[in-house]
Amino acid sequence: MNLLTKLSISVIIPVYNGGDLFRQCLSSLSASQIKPTEVIVVADGDTDNSGQVAADWGSKVIRVEEKGGPAQARNLGASAAGGDILFFVDADVAIAPDTIQQVRLAFTEDASLAALIGSYDDAPGAANFLSQYKNLFHHYTHQNGNEDAFTFWGACGAIRRDIFLAMGGFDESYRRPCVEDIELGYRLKAAGYKIALVKTLQVKHLKRWGIISLIKADVCDRALPWTQLILRQGEMPSDLNLGWSSRLSIILVYSLLLSLLASLWLHKLLVMTMIISLLLIIINLPVYRFFLNKRGLIFTFKVLPWHWFYYFYSGLAFVIGILRKGIK
């Protein structure tokens, strides 16, 4: 028997009003070089007939009348799955033709591997600036992360079914799509399981980001609950979005803001503002060089204020999270 056929793979997709992006997700699965054993779609209280769309594509559909969130939906899909490997994919993600093959090969070649995650590719589906910036930044972060991962990722993450069930799956107290996948990854690492970041395993994010949706997701669905999780765990791994360059950049952004405000009264402090700005550019030079190579000079100049604003509200959310913890 071919080694690649030994492990069965169940693809699990939670969906809530997926629309056309969900259809593109299903279409990408149909174009896979190696077909998964099954595709399980959990229609999480959808009102746009996404469940019927999935059924028409030949997927096994589990319908949830009242929206419970992706953690619950993924757990329901996992409980109905029969594959050796559970491969979780978001409804606004398109896999590559060789994605299933890569997942199967990784687990076949490494018996000690409990779970793996991939990354977004460098060609986001939506063309507007914020979507390109956000998804390319995510691509850069994962492509420069530690291959010995400390977390899990629900948008493109696979795990051995027996281990997932033994760990109790995702924490269903997370009712929104936020850090339920990160929390699972922390528990996996604490239990001694191996998680790999497979950088060649790249999928396309189709979501269109706007100003409100981006900030809301970064602050309410990531930074605040992640801060609570970090405080609960008592450690902050220096990897991905939590690297030392990011922490230092947050300090510099606030220093920049203070020096800029103070320069309104003492103009000589503008020199300090310029120095801090230069330090921010130097520390993040690999990121800006990446954007320059991918999208050119004008795009990179547009990235600077958004990137620094990202550090501003991420730092603010971290402080708010600490204060909320103290109040409780």
For residue 71, the domain's CATH number is 3.90.550.10
Write down the pLDDT at residue 240.
52
Answer yes or no: is pLDDT of 243 > 70.
no
Verify that 132 and 250 share a domain, yes or no. Answer: no
With b for 16 or more beta-carbon neighbours within 10 A and e for fewer, the 205-222 pattern comes to: bbbbbeeeebeebbbeeb
Whole-number Å distance between alpha carbons of 75 and 110:
25
Domain boundaries, position 288: 240-327
Same domain? For 51 and 164 the reply is yes
Both 7 and 118 in a single domain? yes
pLDDT at 239: 46
The Cα–Cα gap between 60 and 39 comes to 6
Number of domain units in the chain: 2
- Give the pLDDT confidence score for residue 238 in this predicted structure: 47
- Whether 69 and 44 have beta carbons less than 8 Å apart is answered as yes
Does residue 235 belong to any structural domain of this protein?
A: no
3-state secondary structure of 85: strand
The mean pLDDT of 104-131, rounded to a whole number, is 96
Please compute the mean of the pLDDT values over residues 96-101 and round it to a whole number. Answer: 96
Query: Any residues with CB less than 8 A from the CB of 96 and at least 6 apart, and which?
Result: 28, 121, 202, 203, 204
- What Rg value do the Cα atoms of the chain yield, rounded? 21
CB-count burial class (<10 Å; 0-12, 13-18, 19+) for 3? exposed
Mean pLDDT of 191-196: 96
Tokens 């120095």 locate to 275
* Same-domain status, 94 and 28: yes
Number of residues in the chain? 328
Does residue 256 sit in helix, strand or coil? helix
216: in domain: no
DSSP letter, residue 268: G
Residue 246 domain-assigned (yes or no): yes
CA distance 159 to 326: 35
Last residue of a domain, one of 209, 232, 252: 209
More confident residue, 238 or 14: 14
Indicate if 203 and 321 belong to the same structural domain: no
- Same domain for 97 and 174, yes or no, is yes
pLDDT bucket at 236, cuts 50 / 70 / 90:
low
Considering only 15-24, 26-35, 71-80, 254-263, which range has the smallest mean pLDDT?
Answer: 254-263
Average pLDDT, the chain: 90
The whole-number pLDDT of residue 211 equals: 94
Q: Are 91 and 43 in contact, with CB atoms under 8 Å apart? A: no
175 and 86, same structural domain? yes
**Are 199 and 278 part of one and the same domain?**
no
- What is the rounded distance in angstroms from the CA atom of residue 215 to the CA atom of residue 209? 9
> For the chain, where are the E strands, in sequence order?
9-15, 38-44, 60-64, 85-89, 93-94, 113-120, 156-160, 194-205
Structural domain contains residue 220: no
Q: Say if residue 295 is in the same domain as residue 196.
A: no
Whether residue 296 sits in one domain with residue 180: no
Same domain, yes or no: 306 and 183: no
Q: Are residues 177 and 46 in the same domain?
A: yes
Cβ neighbours for 270, distance < 8 A, ≥ 6 positions apart: 263
**At 4, is the pLDDT very low, low, confident or very high (cuts 50, 70, 90)?**
very low
What are 91's two structure tokens? 């409804």
Q: Express as a percent the part of the chain with pLDDT over 70.
A: 94
